[in-house]
Amino acid sequence: MDLLSGVPRGQKIEQGGVAFGRRGHMHPILRTVLQRLGLGLLTLFIVSLVIFSLIEMLPGNFAKRILGQAATPETVAAFEKEIGLDKPAHIRYVTWVGNVVQGDFGASFASRVGYKRQVSDLITPRLKNTLFLASLTALIAVPLAIGLGILAALYRNSPFDRIVNSVTLTTISMPEFFMAYILMLFLAVKLQMFPSLASVDADTPLWERIYRCALPALTLTLVIVAHMMRMTRAAIINLLASPYIEMARLKGISKSRVILHHALPNAWAPIVNVIAFNLAYLVVGVVIVEAVFTYPGIGQLMVDAVRTKDMPVVQACALIFAATYILLNLIADIISISTNPRLLHPR
């Protein structure tokens, strides 16, 4: 996605909101929410259809994949029958959609007679882990990025600005796995400050969990800070040229007060959009970091499932990922609207 994607999206809402405001019956926030949720459901449906067809098109299937070299026609047939793969694709899809609408994601193909593995049971602990890592990273990265962005805008073109810019750009330019290995080499292998494995399970106490997640969270922080920081800086600097800021400055208000009280409130929309984009990335795009640190997150689960063509699990993961994007963008738009009086109170 384009680095500046937040900006055009913010503008689009502005226009939409204003246009509706003129016809004006419904509150713009409510309208956005309903509209987005409707579109979201449609998106989810399309996503499920696309994913299902793509996996169908791949060569091989779950039974053959699991049995590997041991797949003889009889064993494959027995296996396919057991997991229902012997039915035609469209029937399997319709059945699956029907169940999902009722909240049942079905059972993984890895289930056996007397050993049911519900997709929801597989996904729940993994999703919790992923959300934990994402929240931990967000708690560090978002305040850090915004703080650095504001400071960089405040002291723009100073050595501080240059250093912050070049350091964050360096960290974002490095591939995640490389960053992960570098951190692991120095902080885990050489200095032995943090564990190199982030293997946690349901019984891991909170502090232990935070300690084990330190390196993955740090890696992800370094990867996402630049984007948010630069957007904050750019959005603020953009506004500093506007007449009302000049007015404020002419009144003799201090530089930091101008930025915090006058520029920042109007800069929230693009910043929040970039934050939302990065948070979504933390949920859906961290599979490499998960693999390097052996963190049992949902990305790993989905890759596993794609490799073995465990369709129910792939489908459920894809839906969760799509829903994450939709919801986070929705929240970003709500914040954009509520921080912009022109959108909040349309005439």
Distance CA(28)–CA(17), nearest Å, equals 6
Work out how close the CB of 90 gets to other proteins at its nearest, in angstroms, rounded to a whole number.
23
Provide DSSP, 288-326.
HHHHHHT---HHHHHHHHHHHT-HHHHHHHHHHHHHHHH
CA distance 153 to 233: 5
d(CA 219, CA 194): 13
Smallest gap, in angstroms, from Cβ of residue 294 to other proteins?
5
- Per-residue mark of binding to other proteins, 278-297 (x: CB under 8 A): -------------xxxx-x-
Decide: is 217 part of the binding site for other proteins (CB under 8 A): no
Query: Does 8 interact with other proteins (rule: CB under 8 A)?
Result: no
Site string for other proteins, 171-200 (x = CB under 8 A): ----------x--xx--xx--x--xxx-x-
| From 26-34, 71-79, 99-107, 233-241, span contacting other proteins (CB under 8 A) | 71-79
Q: What separation, in Å, do the N-terminal and C-terminal C-alpha atoms of the chain show?
A: 34
The DSSP result for 207-266, as a single string, is: HHHHHHTHHHHHHHHHHHHHHHHHHHHHHHHHHHTSHHHHHHHHTT--HHHIIIIIIHHH
Tell me how far, at minimum, the Cβ of 198 lies from other proteins, in Å.
Answer: 10
Among 13, 310, 332, 340, the residue binding other proteins under the rule CB under 8 A is: 310
Which residues are at the interface with other proteins (CB under 8 A)?
A: 58-60, 63-72, 74-76, 78-79, 82, 108-110, 112, 114-115, 117, 122, 181, 184-185, 188-189, 192, 195-197, 199, 201, 291-294, 296, 300-301, 304-305, 307-308, 310, 313
